[in-house]
Chain A
Amino acid sequence: MFKKAILVAATITAAGLLHAQIINKVPLSQRITGYTIDVKLDTAAKTVSGSIDAFWVNNSPDKVPDIQLHMYMNAFKSKNTTLYRESGGSPGKKESDKGWINLISFTDRRGNDLIPLMRFISPDDDNPADSTVLRVMLPEPVKPGDTVYIHAEFETKLPSRIRRTGFAGEFFFVAQWFPKFGVYEPAGMRYREKSGWNCHQFHANSEFYANHSVYDVKITLPERYVVGSGGIVMNESPAGSNLKTLSVRAEDIVDFAWTAWPGYEVYTDRWEHVDITLLLPGVRKKQVERQFTAVKNALEYFAETVGPYPWPHLTFVDPPTIGAGAGGMEYTTLFTSISSDRMPEWLHLPEMVTVHEFGHAYFMGILATNEFEEPWMDEGMNSFWEARIMDHYWGENSGLINHPRLQIADKSYSRNAYVRSANRQVITNNEYSWNYPAGTYGMMSYNKVTVWLYTLMGIIGEETTNEVFREYYRQWAFKHPAGQDFINVVNEVVQRIHGNKFGPDMNWFFEQTLYGTGICDYKAAGYRNIRIASEKEKAEDDSLSKDKPGRNDSLYKAIVQMHRLGEVILPVEVLIHFENGDEILEIWDGRDRYKELTYTGHGKVKWFKIDPEYKIRMDVNFINNSLTAEPDNVPVRRITNKLISLMQFYLSIITL
């Protein structure tokens, strides 16, 4: 009884501490869940073991009979887990290669043993070999407003094949490593008709979904290890036997991960209110400035166009080559980039990854959408912002590659990944992440979304797009919006700024792009200039006008023909240029499969372009968007000439 009383007091104290304001002046989120973790890293056994105290507040109007916890690390337990079944891989042959998480003891606030009440479930695929979701029937249901406290002693074994998490030699990246609450969604939240836990298994093609939480984490490990995490180190103290203990706190984030490696060098910088820490191998010192520039550009751009970065700290890691599998992943206030010891300046890969992973702090971290069920809301939106930022700061046509001989914009990469994919029409964006057919997840979740968001921006304008995202942030930060919530914001903002210019709402756009599989392809089919009787000819019997010299008043009926080849109907601009220099800019609603525009006047059509500024980036073929009588073949001749020279030099070299 005494023991139980101590436990209750301890958990309540822990919960109280978790609600305290240490980092953020006011809570950013509801803090429905919180975690106090005290662990030791065994660098020889590759395990992290210790205790966890956690709580979940039932903020629904329901009596909830159970809790559900993610036990992600069990995904690395065998080749039969859902992760490896879907990916076709294996955790490795040796026992030391595998990863798992074991609960040694598990009790509630009264000290009731929960182990007999727990069982693993597979809500997504009924895979009996998967143990990444744990359901615990509580001794009694949780009333609305009540809090569930749990205490567990646990041991996590890290996997050797780093798939975001794991170890390689002395390198550790510790993510998805502790028992973590799923999200209890009351009816009405997102698409919920009935209340229930949203707690999905660990899939090959999926990321995560969690409540914003406060984390107080104590990590004990060898002194020589350098540690980076998503929190702020509150205290560091020796723990004897060449060990040290770090006390780390993080507030209002959806996941807590950390890394430890003796080879890290630590660099710090500051942007406005944000203290930035970068960990990377010493040999990559040259990358430091590039990395800080990238992250500060991203901070600036997001703050201006979406909303403020609310935390005062940010840590990012450029893992060593042996830990490359941990690169390119986000944990809100901690993320990992990718680079190499020698990275040419013209290749903006490190910048691109840094900007991308930082961007997740907004879509995965602040807005905290459900990445399992609506991956487009995180990866897609974030890729759109990544492309905008890269092309804004590193050149409109050179966001990705800026070599004197080759420039590639970030937005071009996304468009081509989508447009050139043979699978671009096999599935919509409105799909759970693990349901995407092989090879389509990345293209659909990242690239197609980027392309249709660019297209949306092309239609409603850049400033309106920024205002949409500012409003989205204002309304939904720390509230887990669904796709429909975003659409509602678009409708609201577009209506406010443009009135009925695009109709009563923008649903027509999302039905075709987000929920549709059609392609967009407009074609300039042809044009004709028909000479019609001129005023002069009509009046040829008129002796007064007949003899006026130099008068060219021939009239032409110019007809421009356009086709809509794809299923997607979007309004497009059409620019018609006449030989006399006149230009007419029209808007075609794009509804008809065939459209003719007719002009009568003194000018003959010289060329015309559909979507002259290439704003409709969903269009799968830009080449057929325009027609001219005098195509400019100079670039083709130039390319051919260069190819000839290249082949000549190559031939001369290989023939000794």
Chain B
Amino acid sequence: MNVFKSLGSGAVRALRSWKCVLIVWFVTLLIVSLFVIPVKGIMKTGFGSSTITELLRNGINIDVILDLEKYLSGIISYLASGLFLFLLIGIIVYSFFAGGLFKSVSNPAETLSVPCFFRASAKYFWYCLGLWFMISLIILISGVLIIGLPVGLISQSEKSAGNLLPIAAIVCGSLFIIWLLILLLVADYSRAWLISAEKPALFKAFGFGFSTTFSHFGPSFLMMLMIMILMVLFGWLASSIIGIWKPETGGGVFILFLVSQLLFFIKIMLKTWRYGSVTTLMEINKTLTQ
């Protein structure tokens, strides 16, 4: 029951935070566009005044793309070298906004003003960045341990008919996904605690995240599972729409842009809903404990 209550309250809190979500969406678009727009420039230069782009109307044509030659090499080296900087900036910005978003969903009755959103973002930036770093490191290491090691060992020692490897990959992959959901809960509980704490502290938050996740594992995991299933379905839907849609006119491309940005806005809204739901559940857990 608490799960559904949390999900409902989380949705309301997320909707109240629409302004904050809008800011996150806009800043993300800005960063990504700054990174991607040069690619467009290189491609346009590469194709020059050729009519060859008509072969791209129905999607990627490998003959055409690979004939870009030095321009394609330019795009690849640009993306490869720029990706690190892009991700770094992205992680910093998102860690910055994470504090603001958690703050915005912390009070169900009040809509956070834009200045308060930025203030909260700034206040909790380093904590959120530290938490991101620790959780990401755990994900990376556990990925190697849960998937890489067993699958690698089996593939090296395989002497049977070859059935074991795919089964092992599926089992290990499923275990890793379960573990990933648990780590997301830890991250969210930690950040929710930071916002509510009088004296925020990184490792205290981290400890709280773990202890709350496992002390209220059933409802927490169930809720996270439901949210993630929904998010995955949404991600699949969004990527299908964006991936398969091939507008052939300038107007069509503009509509594609609008739709894809709307879908991304919804994506951030869903993430905020997750933050709100975990925050609500934490509050409920706290009330129950008291």
Contact = CB atoms under 8 A, between A and B. Distances in A.
A320 B159 CA distance: 11
Contacts of A539: none
B264 A634 contact: no
Nearest to B46: A623
A656 interface: yes
Nearest to B239: A649
A406 interface: yes
Given A623-B50, A628-B50, A637-B250, A644 B32 contact: yes
A601 B235 CA distance: 56
Interface stretch (B53-61, B106-114, B210-218, B282-290): B53-61
Nearest to A400: B62
Interface in A625-656: 625-629, 631-649, 651-652, 654-656
Nearest to B167: A341
B62 A654 contact: no
B242 interface: yes
Contact of A405 (B46, B66, B244): B244
Interface in A396-422: 397, 404-409, 412-413, 415-416, 419-420
Q: Which of A281, A609, A637 has the most CB of B within 10 A?
A: A637
A621 interface: yes
Interface stretch (B10-18, B33-41, B115-123, B143-151): B33-41
Q: Which of B51, B58, B136, B238 has the most CB of A within 10 A?
A: B51
A246 B257 CA distance: 67
A438 interface: no
Given A322-B158, A639-B56, A647-B36, A412 B90 contact: no
The contact size tier of chain B is: 35 or more
Contacts of A639: 40, 43, 56, 60
A651 B90 contact: yes
Contacts of A647: 32, 35-36, 86
Given A406-B60, A641-B257, A647-B36, A635 B53 contact: yes
A640 B61 contact: no
A635 B267 contact: no
A634 B59 contact: no
A342 B166 contact: yes
Nearest to A627: B49
B51 A320 contact: no
Contacts of A566: none
A652 B260 contact: no
A624 interface: yes
B179 interface: no
B184 interface: yes
A635 B56 contact: yes
Contacts of A342: 166
B66 A341 contact: no
Nearest to A614: B63
Nearest to B240: A404
B132 A655 contact: yes
A447 B15 CA distance: 57
Q: Which of B32, B43, B94, B271 has the most CB of A within 10 A?
A: B32
B66 A419 contact: yes
B47 interface: yes
B233 interface: no
A404 B59 CA distance: 9
A169 interface: yes
B39 A640 contact: yes
Contacts of A651: 28, 31-32, 87, 90, 94
B68 interface: yes
A419 B65 CA distance: 13
The main secondary structure of chain B at its interface with chain A is helix
Contact of A625 (B32, B52, B57, B158): B52
Given A635-B57, A649-B235, A623 B158 contact: no
B268 interface: yes
Contacts of B165: 321
A641 B63 CA distance: 21
Nearest to B132: A656
Contacts of B160: 169, 322
Interface in A586-627: 607, 609, 614, 620-627
B189 to A, nearest CB: 12
A263 interface: yes
Contacts of A263: 161
A10 interface: no
A405 B162 contact: no
A431 to B, nearest CB: 26
A283 interface: yes
B37 A656 contact: no
Interface residues of A, number: 61
Nearest to B248: A634
Contact of A634 (B36, B69, B98, B250): B250
B163 A341 contact: yes
Contacts of A636: 40, 43-44, 47, 53, 56
Contacts of A607: 51
Given A416-B66, A631-B50, A322 B161 contact: yes
Nearest to A324: B162
Contacts of A648: 28-29, 32, 264, 267
Contacts of A524: 50
A281 B33 contact: no
Nearest to B139: A656
B91 interface: yes
Contacts of B54: 632
Nearest to A415: B63
Interface in B222-275: 235, 238-240, 242-244, 246-250, 252-253, 256-257, 260-261, 263-264, 267-268, 271
Nearest to B54: A632
A637 B40 contact: yes
Contacts of A645: 238, 242, 260-261, 263-264
B272 to A, nearest CB: 11
B52 A622 contact: yes
Contact of A631 (B32, B53, B69): B53
Nearest to A655: B94
Nearest to B155: A321
A1 B36 CA distance: 89
Given A631-B48, A639-B56, A649-B267, A622 B36 contact: no
A545 B246 CA distance: 51
Nearest to A651: B90
B187 interface: yes
Contacts of B66: 416, 419-420
A606 to B, nearest CB: 10
B64 interface: yes
A412 B267 CA distance: 37
6 smallest CB-CB distances across A and B, nearest first, come from A321-B162, A655-B94, A635-B56, A640-B40, A626-B51, A645-B260
6 contacts: A169-B160, A408-B62, A622-B64, A631-B49, A648-B29, A652-B267
Given A635-B53, A638-B256, A642-B256, 17 more contacts: A321-B158, A322-B160, A405-B59, A416-B63, A622-B52, A622-B63, A622-B67, A623-B48, A623-B50, A626-B52, A627-B51, A636-B56, A639-B56, A642-B243, A643-B39, A648-B32, A652-B94
Interface of B: 28-29, 31-33, 35-37, 39-40, 43-44, 46-54, 56-64, 66-69, 86-87, 90-91, 94-95, 98, 132, 135-136, 158-163, 165-166, 184, 187, 235, 238-240, 242-244, 246-250, 252-253, 256-257, 260-261, 263-264, 267-268, 271
